[in-house]
Amino acid sequence: MKKKMGFIGIVALVSILMFGMVPAQAGLLSIGGMAGYYNPNFGEINDDLFEEINALTGMDLKFKGGLAYGLAVGYDISPNFKIRGEYNTFTSKTSDSYLYDFGLGEEKWEFKLTTTPIILSGIYRISPDIPLCPYIGAGIGYFDTKISCKGKDYFLGILVDEYSDSDKDRPIGYQVLGGVEFGGEGFSLAAEARYIIAEAEMEDWGTKVDLGGLFAGLIASIKF
């Protein structure tokens, strides 16, 4: 049901931007790359699951924010209005080990979180005629998210067991954004900040991942 509502929302956004706001004009296509710092809240997986594991083992497992990067494709409907599709990826890893049986045994754990959102945004340029143009916008998309775990068990330094597990979800998420764009002949460079709202549910692990948080970065594009 959530995915159906998300698809309806995306279709509605495109329809409003293309037909409801301004008369369609000759568009301008832009293709570029984006990179920046993404700091999700993470929520239950850090605060509950990892806290419980850390308390039992003495490890220090915790997902943290880091670099996110991807591609962006935009289409100018008018000088003021633009639609933008983007595909991003973000990965966070955490690992640690603990000793047991009086230090004769050691267990090493590694967790990896990867989210690859596909987002469609509508953007409004506030003053398109000035060199540094401020803009605001909002978007909706799918946040394809996977968590994997790998473990190795050693006794007297010899590997005696290996195991792995994973879980995934594809929730619908939203974002609001704002930035400043500098445009030249055939290119543009934008500094942008956004707030993301999304939550992935890892049913097999009995936990959730709060993907909501701040992203700040740059978008460099070539115009056609």
Q: Which CATH architecture has domain 2-223?
A: Beta Barrel (2.40)
Per-residue pLDDT for 10 more than 80? no
Q: Which residue has the higher pLDDT, 134 or 13?
A: 134
Structure tokens given for 84 = 């933008």
Distance of CA 92 to the CA centre of its chain: 11
| 80 and 22 Cβ atoms separated by less than 8 Å | yes
The torsion region of residue 57 among left (phi > 0), alpha (psi -120 to 50) and beta comes to: alpha
Residue indicated by tokens 């799918």:
142
Nearest CA to 32 among 185, 189, 178? Answer: 189
In eight-state DSSP terms, residue 55 is: H
Q: Where are the domains of the chain?
A: 2-223
Query: Cα separation of 53 and 49, whole Å?
Result: 6
Q: 59-89, pLDDT tens digit by residue?
A: 999 999 999 999 999 999 999 999 999 999 9
The torsion region of residue 206 among left (phi > 0), alpha (psi -120 to 50) and beta comes to: left
Q: 90-127, pLDDT tens digit by residue?
A: 999 999 999 999 989 999 999 999 999 999 999 999 99
**What confidence score (pLDDT) does residue 20 get?**
41
Residue 200, C-beta contacts closer than 8 angstroms, at least 6 positions apart: 115, 143, 145, 168, 169, 170, 171, 208, 209, 211
Q: 152-202, pLDDT tens digit by residue?
A: 999 999 999 999 999 999 999 999 999 999 987 889 999 999 999 999 999
